């Protein structure tokens, strides 16, 4: 979806609610890797949904990160640090920035950019191995990013 379409969608579906505007991937503002404003324009993230996105098929975060709270799910990876206590180490804005585009916080990191739509080399059509055609959707939607951030904010140890 291009920006105008996305804005229109927000205007149509968001009619009646506060003037919420979804932020498109190209328009996200990073400040030292952090993103201060909600990508959905205010609608709060859903912790349960975020918890599901951490798993295979959606965000697939546990392919690389271990999370004790998700120990009911098999096979946590070891590429990134464990996310236990992530909310003690980072603010909500920082976590939003890391999930949206971790390369802004950690230069050259292996972590994929979940809210980015350009700058790819040989972009494929999902996992088919074929070339991608048409508009590019980010790996996670604005709402999904907010859901994951809401979930990460529950990972406190202190």
Partner 1 sequence: MNAAKKLASAIALAAVVATPALAGPDDDNLMINEELNMVTETAAPAHLQDAFDTIYSGWRFRTDETQALQIDDFENPAMIFVDQALEYFETVDGTEGKSCSSCHEDGPEQFAGLSATMPKVIGGKLTTMEDLLNAHRAKAMGAEPWKWSGPEMQAMVALIGLQSRGMPMNVAIDGEAAPFWEKGKEMYYTRYGQLELSCANCHEDSYGMMIRADHLSQGQINGFPTYRLKQAKLISKHNRFRGCIRDTRAHTFAEGSDEFRALELYVASRSNGLSVETPAVRQ
CA distance to 44, 74, 137, per residue, from 35 (Å): 15, 31, 20
Told to check if 86 binds ligand HEC by CB under 6 A, we report yes
- Contact region with ligand HEC (CB under 6 A), list: 7-15, 32-40, 98-106, 127-135: 98-106
Q: How far is the CB of 89 from ligand HEC (least distance, A)?
A: 5
Q: Which of 11, 29, 110, 137 binds ligand HEC (CB under 6 A)?
A: 110
For residue 83, give every residue at least 6 positions away whose Cβ sits within 8 Å of its Cβ, in sequence order, or none. Answer: 61, 65, 66, 67, 152, 155
Q: Which of 28, 40, 100, 114 binds ligand HEC (CB under 6 A)?
A: 114
What HEC string does 33-68 produce? CECCCCCCCCCCCCHHHHHHHCCCCCCCHHHCCCCH
Helix or strand run (H / E) with residue 28: none
CA angle 43, 107, 157 (to 5 degrees): 55
Q: Which of 18, 57, 75, 158 binds partner 1 (CB under 8 A)?
A: 75
The number of CA neighbours under 13 Å toward the Cβ of 31 is 6
Closest Cα to residue 110, out of 51, 53, 63?
63
Told to check if 65 binds ligand HEC by CB under 6 A, we report yes
- Contact region with ligand HEC (CB under 6 A), list: 8-16, 33-41, 95-103, 117-125: 95-103
For residue 119, give every residue at least 6 positions away whose Cβ sits within 8 Å of its Cβ, in sequence order, or none. Answer: none
Told to check if 148 binds ligand HEC by CB under 6 A, we report yes
Q: Which of 9, 13, 48, 124 binds partner 1 (CB under 8 A)?
A: 124
Q: Which is nearer to partner 1, 51 or 76 (CB)?
A: 76
The contact set with partner 1 (CB under 8 A) reads 32-33, 56, 60, 62-64, 66, 68, 74-79, 81-82, 84-86, 89-90, 105-106, 110, 112-113, 120-132, 139
């Amino acid at each position: 979806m291009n920006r105008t379409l996305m804005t229109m969608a927000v205007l149509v579906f968001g009619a009646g609610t506060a003037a919420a505007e979804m932020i498109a991937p190209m328009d996200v503002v990073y400040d030292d890797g952090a993103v201060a404003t909600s990508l959905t324009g205010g609608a709060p993230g859903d912790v349960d949904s975020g918890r599901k996105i951490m798993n295979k098929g959606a965000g697939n975060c546990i392919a690389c990160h271990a999370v004790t709270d998700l120990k009911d799910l098999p096979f946590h990876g070891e590429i990134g640090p464990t996310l236990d206590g992530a909310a003690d180490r980072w603010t909500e804005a920082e976590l939003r920035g890391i999930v949206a585009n971790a390369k802004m916080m950690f230069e050259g990191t292996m972590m994929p950019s979940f809210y980015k739509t350009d700058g790819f080399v040989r972009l494929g059509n999902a996992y088919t191995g074929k070339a991608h055609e048409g508009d590019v959707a980010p790996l996670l939607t604005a709402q999904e990013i907010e859901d994951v951030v809401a979930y990460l904010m529950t990972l406190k140890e202190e």
